[in-house]
Amino acid sequence: MRPLIVLSTLGALLALGASPALAQDPIPPVESLQDAFKAQKHYSPYAGRNFPTHVYWGDTHLHTGLSMDAGAFGARLTPEDAYRFARGEELTSSTGQQVKLGRPLDFLVVADHSDNMGFFPRLYSGDQDMLADPTGRRWYEMIQAGGQQGVQVAVEVIQAFSDNTFPEALASLPGTPAYRDAWEEMIDAADEYNDPGEFTAFIGYEWTSNTRGANLHRVVIFRDDGTKASAVLPFTTLKPLGSDNPRDLWEQMQAYEDKTGGQILALAHNGNLSNGIMFPMLDTFTGMAFDRDYAETRAKWEPLYEVTQIKGDGEAHPYLSPNDEFADYENWDQGNLDLSEAKENDMLQYEYARSGLQIGLQLERQLGVNPYKFGMIGSTDSHTGLATAEEENFFGKHSGTEPSPERYKHPMAQLGDKKYESWDMVSSGYAAVWATENTREAIFDAMMRRETYATTGPRMLVRFFGGWEFTEADAELRMPGGVGYNKGVPMGGDLPVRSGNGAPTFLVAALKDPFSGNLDRIQIVKGWLDGRGERHEKVYDVACSDGRSIRDDRCERPVGNTVDVANATWTNTIGAPEFVRVWTDPDFDASQPAVYYARVIEIPTPRWTAYEAARFGITMPDGVPMVTQERAYTSPIWYTP
């Protein structure tokens, strides 16, 4: 019946337009057209779905022996090894241990540091140009000797690089044949292992801006293959060729696209080691206020943010979110990357994703554009060539922190009396991407539209849709995708223009990782600006396991804990295997800009330190966390008045 009405209307419109030039052919009688419009509502619930139905799992931030620091710390694995490992093959780690992922990844970005890329493999193999230089020969001989002498080389190399005293003859700089070779090796490995439909190997690198130890690193990802990517060289930070200012990186990215017609994006390293300059209100490099151009350019090139990785989780900080009992999660807040400057409380707001999103709303008010309109992903930033984020299979930050009975004793990094303990390392995280297929194009495009989420390692499936018309019934059908795309926008999107007088509604769902912990709860985190432009945030529990009711926006009690630390195991006898809920913002004010994302929390499970203690039969000091509550952070959905 309904199609008939539509056709009548259409027929009338066509009839009206029949005489002018818009008419193409005589209009057939309405009845004869009905068969042309068969119902598109299929019996098979899986037919005719044009939206993403599959999450692809990956690591966007992995280093191999081609990264100067990774090589210096002992990584001998190559980009080829990294791709083989990520797609599920067993290999031998740099410390000689057999290792394999529990489940393969779907995609990988090898993101070696662009500065001095490929230096260490050349030194290690005794490259003739290296041996021609006296320092190079000395370093080579020390490495040949091995043991403490080899370690000393690593220290000297890193020191020389950060002091800017690195011998020019040894440096792997853009423009030299050695640098070109390293870049070609990365490109060739990605193109060889990229297998459309099965495994995506992205070409990429890390631009490593690190002035005075303030970490502003960006991973650069190419949508393109080697024919385009080889038309340029990675951007570096060392002057005169490079720069430590992100604006210069973006300029280079624009130049690449202009030159090749390719597509490229950058995603910022967790800001927790930036000491207050990842999401600034003022331009750190000039001290001036931002202009609209800055906001537009940043938002154009940086759709995603690395919210969790081995060097700490960056979603929220307890100083900023004192009422959020889950905010103090694997925080690294002693200082900047090299611990040369201690952390001040005032820096924190410019470092964490939650406040970064709110600052974005503030800047949007000033500039008309939100520079911090980012989606969420997790990645490892592992320097071992091994994308491990499984607690029971964690191979650490760098090859010096691969599994051993000793690793918890040795600091992961140290400067003077300040250090990052190895047991502080986080076995985190992975990037989850809702894409239509496993190809560079589809995954890159999903990243650009921020249809992604971060996890600290587990592979829970998470759906998050926002709209104005979701109702309780939408949560009952067990298939949130169909109704979600139909009535709303997915994670990463903007709420459609408000219709009616209601508050925004959200359809949110999580399905546990079959091999990980059950789910404790789903929360929706809201950030907004009040009438004076002040930032606010609130965490709403929207689904609780075990029949717990929600009081004052919280599940009425903690979920409990089944972890047997001594045996590094647990039981999934608490928590839920799945949640699907519709939530309406009870505090909505249509005049206030707001941003919403979902946080999914698992029940407690053993942390990687517990597996380490059980397997090596060691007792770690009090204070070493042995239990974790893994989680997922979705990309936000924005409301703009």
Partner 1 sequence: MTSTLTRVLAVLLPAAAVISNSALAQDPIPPPEALEGAFKSQKHFSPYAGRNFPTHVYWGDTHLHTAMSMDAGAFGNRLGLDDAYRFARGEEVTAATGQRVKLGRPLDFLVVADHSDNMGFFPNLFAGKPEILADPTGKRWYEMIQAGGQQAVGAALEIIDAASKGTFPQSLYYAPGSAPYRSAWEETIEAAEKYNEPGEFTAFIGYEWTSLVPPGNNLHRVVVYRDGGDKAVRTEPFTMFRPAGSTNPEDLWTVLQAYEDKTGGRLLAIPHNGNLSNGMMFPLVNPVTNRQLTREYAETRIRWEPLYEATQIKGDGEAHPYLSPTDEFADYETWDKGNLNLSELKTREMLQYEYARTALQLGLQVEQQVGVNPYKFGMIGSTDSHTSLATAEEENFFGKHSGTEPDAMRWEHPVLALGDVTILGWEQVSSGYAAVWATENTREAIFDAMMRRETYATTGPRMLVRFFGGWEFTADDAELRMPGGVGYSKGVPMGGDLPVRSGNGAPTFLVGALKDPFSGNLDRIQIVKGWLDGRGQRHEKVYDVAWSDAGRRQPGPDGTLPPVGNTVDVANATWTNTIGAPELLTVWTDPDFDASQPAVYYARVIEIPTPRWTAYDALRFGITMDPEVQMTTQERAYTSPIWYTP
Look up residue 209 and give its DSSP letter: -
Please give the C-alpha separations between residue 150 and each of 125, 156, 157, 382, 402, in angstroms, as whole numbers: 14, 10, 11, 21, 17
Q: Which of 344, 437, 564, 587 binds partner 1 (CB under 8 A)?
A: 564
Nearer to partner 1, 97 or 486 (CB): 97
Binding pattern for the stretch 318-357 against partner 1, x by CB under 8 A and - elsewhere = ----------------------------------------
Contact characters 529-548, partner 1, x per CB under 8 A: ------------------x-
- Evaluated on CA atoms 434, 353, 378, 539, the torsion sign reads negative
DSSP-assigned letter for residue 310: T
**Would you give the binding string for partner 1 spanning residues 376-415, x where CB under 8 A is met?**
----------------xx-x-------x------------
CB nearer to partner 1: pick between 43 and 586 = 43
- Give the Cα separation of 460 and 483 in Å (integer): 20
Report phi then psi at 364, rounded to 5. -60, -35
Name the minimum Å distance from CB 550 to partner 1.
16
The correct pick among 66, 70, 576, 600 for binding partner 1 (CB under 8 A) is 576
**Residue placing its CB nearer to partner 1 in the complex, 3 or 577:** 577
Q: Which is nearer to partner 1, 293 or 564 (CB)?
A: 564
- The DSSP result for 104-165, as a single string, is --SEEEE--BSTTTTHHHHHHTT-HHHHTSHHHHHHHHHHHH-HHHHHHHHHHHHHHHHTT-
Whether 457 and 389 have beta carbons less than 8 Å apart is answered as yes
Distances from the Cα of 360 to the Cα of 321, 322, 529, 535, angstroms: 17, 21, 10, 10
Backbone CA torsion sign across 229, 232, 234, 235: negative
Q: How far is the CB of 119 from partner 1 (least distance, A)?
A: 29
User: Closer CB to partner 1, residue 351 or residue 474?
Assistant: 474
Where does residue 180 rank: exposed (0-12), middle (13-18), buried (19+ CB within 10 A)? middle
Classified as helix, coil or strand, 307 is strand
Q: In angstroms, what is the minimal distance from the CB of 287 to partner 1?
A: 49
* Residues from 449 through 468 that contact partner 1 (CB under 8 A): 461
Q: Which of these ranges, 212-220, 294-302, 438-446, 514-522, lies near partner 1 under the rule CB under 8 A?
A: 514-522
User: Using CB under 8 A, which of the segments 91-99, 139-147, 181-189, 582-590 binds partner 1?
Assistant: 91-99
From candidates 477, 486, 533, 587, binder to partner 1 by CB under 8 A: 477
With beta carbons less than 8 A apart as the criterion, state whether 576 and 545 touch: yes
Report phi then psi at 512, rounded to 5.
-60, 155
Binding window for partner 1 (CB under 8 A); candidates: 106-114, 173-181, 337-345, 506-514? 506-514
Please select the residue that binds partner 1; options are 19, 24, 32, 44, rule is CB under 8 A. Answer: 44
Phi-psi region of 560 (alpha: psi -120 to 50; beta: other; left: phi over 0): left
Ramachandran quadrant class, 552 (left: phi over 0; alpha: psi -120 to 50; beta: rest): left
578 binds partner 1 per the rule CB under 8 A: yes
Task: CB nearer to partner 1: give 100 or 247.
Answer: 100
**Would you say 355 or 628 has its CB closer to partner 1?**
628
**Sign of dihedral through CA atoms 187, 190, 191, 193?**
positive
478 near partner 1, judged by CB under 8 A: yes
> Which of 6, 23, 42, 282: binder of partner 1 (CB under 8 A)?
42
- What is the distance between the alpha carbons of residues 432 and 75, in angstroms, rounded to a whole number? 27
- At which residue do the structure tokens 């990309």 appear? 635
**For residues 97 and 640, which CB has a smaller minimum distance to partner 1 in the complex?**
97
> x/- site string to partner 1, residues 605 to 624, per CB under 8 A?
----------x---------
Q: Which is nearer to partner 1, 47 or 288 (CB)?
A: 47
Task: Kindly state the number of chain residues that form the binding site for partner 1, as judged by CB under 8 A.
Answer: 40
CA 621 to CA 573: how far, in whole Å?
A: 29
Query: Alpha-carbon distance 516 to 429, whole Å?
Result: 14
Residue closer to partner 1, measured from CB, 153 or 519: 519
From the list 82, 99, 238, 307, which residue makes contact with partner 1 (rule: CB under 8 A)? 99
CB nearer to partner 1: give 224 or 390. Answer: 390
Question: What is the contact surface with partner 1 in residues (CB under 8 A)?
Answer: 42-49, 90, 97-102, 198, 392-393, 395, 403, 461, 476-478, 511-512, 514-515, 518, 547, 564, 567, 569-570, 572-573, 576-578, 615
